[in-house]
Amino acid sequence: MTSPQALAGLWTQLGLPPALLDDAHLTGADPVLPSSFALGAAAQATIAASGLAAAAIHHLRGGPRQTVAVDMRHAVTEFHSEDWMTADGTARGDGWDRIAGVYPCRDGRWVRLHTNFPHHRAGVLALLDCGYDRAEVAAALLQRDAIAFEDAAAAAGLCVTAQRSFAEWDAHPQGRAVQAEPLIAIERIGDAPPRPLPGAADRPLAGVRVLDLTRVIAGPVCGRTLAAHGAEVLLITAPHLFNPAPLAIDTGRGKRSAYLDLRQADARATLAGLLAEADIIVQGYRKGAIAGHGFGPEQAAALRPGIVYVSLCAFGFTGPWAGRRGFDSLTQTASGFNTAEAEAAGEAKPRALPVQALDHASGYLLAAGTLAALHRRATEGGSWHVRVSLARTGHWLRGLGRVAEGLSQTAPQRADITEFLEESDSGFGHLSAVRHAAILSATPAHWTLPSMPRGSHPPSWTETGRRGD
């Protein structure tokens, strides 16, 4: 499937004005990364969909139609923007824990451990009854069967998946559940009168307020994309919620960052006050976690009629794994990508995609779906719930087809992508980072706020003073 075909399919799902699809200008072709999958098409189509959706909002507000140009090489560079970001000329590391990764098990299968969060690492080591050493972990896993260990880890609230083929995943109850779900679910969850955005503005999302309750990659990419088109994005986190520094710095551009510990009643009251003045809330925590604090979709719609509520999950919103914790790498392993990529390369060991493609694609799909829901709120009224899962995004990526000779492509080096970088000052020093790949002709995307340490700002829409971390 070509990028224009993929974009056309996404645009139909979004339900935005069909004529605006003609404003997309896509250049480049796969392969652009060493992979047998159409990662270039995935990056280009999802980023273009979010850019076109922003242009549609701007046009709805009285702005002119405008072109949205996306170069495939630029899009793919943004699909692993965290790898290219430097602060004061130094890369901040990749954030991977030293025992994270794939290991063979007693039954000949492999498992992937995600131990980047300290409590997940501690839990895995306790379950294996071994030390914090890769060789000890490997020896312990050789005494375990992969799927049994996957189940034991899930029961303990940990992040482990067994390697499967596409055929095994498609036959699995969760694989079947994911296939039945929409790629981008946009559901009306409450009544509210239409709320048109104010008239013509110099940016598509000027005046739009977004609460960003996400971390790692997919959810934060959604918020960063909305900020690139002018939204006021307030990131809400808490000191005890770990987020790898390289990811937080890269996705923090354009946002303010405030602390609220929702385990505390006063913090929940503050968030309710913020929600009462918000247009969008984006959350990526496991099923029921936010609802347990009083901010699930229906709860938010009752507090703020007309809200656009956005949810992200790993393995799908239905099926036996709907409540499991997960990340891009785990989803790749469980759903067949690592097996398929290894087979294409003639390798026995599971082979990951060269970028966190499920994360990044899901982030841009979330942004596009959010803007489609915002368009409907302005024209039809109502409160809306937008849902995207990493696993369903993976199923869509499979549908784009495979790329012959893709694995022979050379991975880009920094000298190959410098044209896509921009410089800015931040709370972490001078940043060099990837600028946004969707080029809107009338309202160029850009971030007006620097990336700052977590908790640098008060939890308020009006105060702009900074607080120390």
Contact 85, 431 (CB under 8 A): yes
Contact 215, 353 (CB under 8 A): no
pLDDT digits (tens, 9 = 90+) for 197-241: 988 899 999 999 999 999 999 999 999 999 999 999 999 999 999
User: Is 164 or 465 the better-scoring residue by pLDDT?
Assistant: 164
pLDDT for residue 244? 87
Contact 102, 80 (CB under 8 A): no
Q: Distance between CA atoms of 185 and 388, rounded to whole angstroms?
A: 7
Instruction: Tell me the average pLDDT across 122-139.
Output: 98
Contact 422, 50 (CB under 8 A): no
Residue 466 has pLDDT above 70, yes or no: no
> Position of tokens 């080591």?
125
Contact 31, 403 (CB under 8 A): yes
Q: Distance between CA atoms of 78 and 73, rounded to whole angstroms?
A: 9
Token pair in block for residue 434: 């990837």
pLDDT for residue 199? 85
Contact 253, 424 (CB under 8 A): yes
> Position of tokens 């919620």?
241
Cα separation of the two ends of the chain: 47
Instruction: Tell me the average pLDDT across 284-294.
Output: 90
pTM for this entry:
0.96
Q: Residue 463's pLDDT band (boundaries 50, 70, 90)?
A: low
**Average pLDDT of the residues of the chain:** 96
Lowest mean pLDDT among 135-149, 365-379, 454-468: 454-468
User: Is 314 or 245 the better-scoring residue by pLDDT?
Assistant: 314
Residue 93 has pLDDT above 60, yes or no: yes
pLDDT for residue 92? 75
Pick from 24, 78, 88: nearest CA to 56: 24
pLDDT digits (tens, 9 = 90+) for 376-430: 999 999 999 999 999 999 999 999 999 999 999 999 999 999 999 999 999 999 9
Complete DSSP assignment for 108-134: S-EEEE---SHHHHHHHHHHHT--S-H
Q: Distance between CA atoms of 231 and 321, rounded to whole angstroms?
A: 34
Residue 113 makes CB contacts below 8 A (sequence gap 6+) with 99, 100, 101, 102, 103, 124, 137, 159, 160
Q: Distance between CA atoms of 432 and 417, rounded to whole angstroms?
A: 12
pLDDT for residue 467? 30
Backbone CA torsion sign across 410, 415, 418, 423: positive
Percent above pLDDT 70 for the chain: 99
Pick from 164, 157, 189, 158: nearest CA to 178: 164
- Nearest 5°: phi and psi at 53? -65, -40
Instruction: Tell me the average pLDDT across 168-175.
Output: 98
Residue 57 has pLDDT above 80, yes or no: yes
Q: Distance between CA atoms of 334 and 329, rounded to whole angstroms?
A: 9
Residue 468 has pLDDT above 60, yes or no: no
Instruction: Tell me the average pLDDT across 370-378.
Output: 98
Per-residue CA distances from 86 to 78, 128, 156, 337, 412 (Å): 14, 36, 36, 29, 16
Rg (CA), the chain: 21
> Position of tokens 């509520």?
309
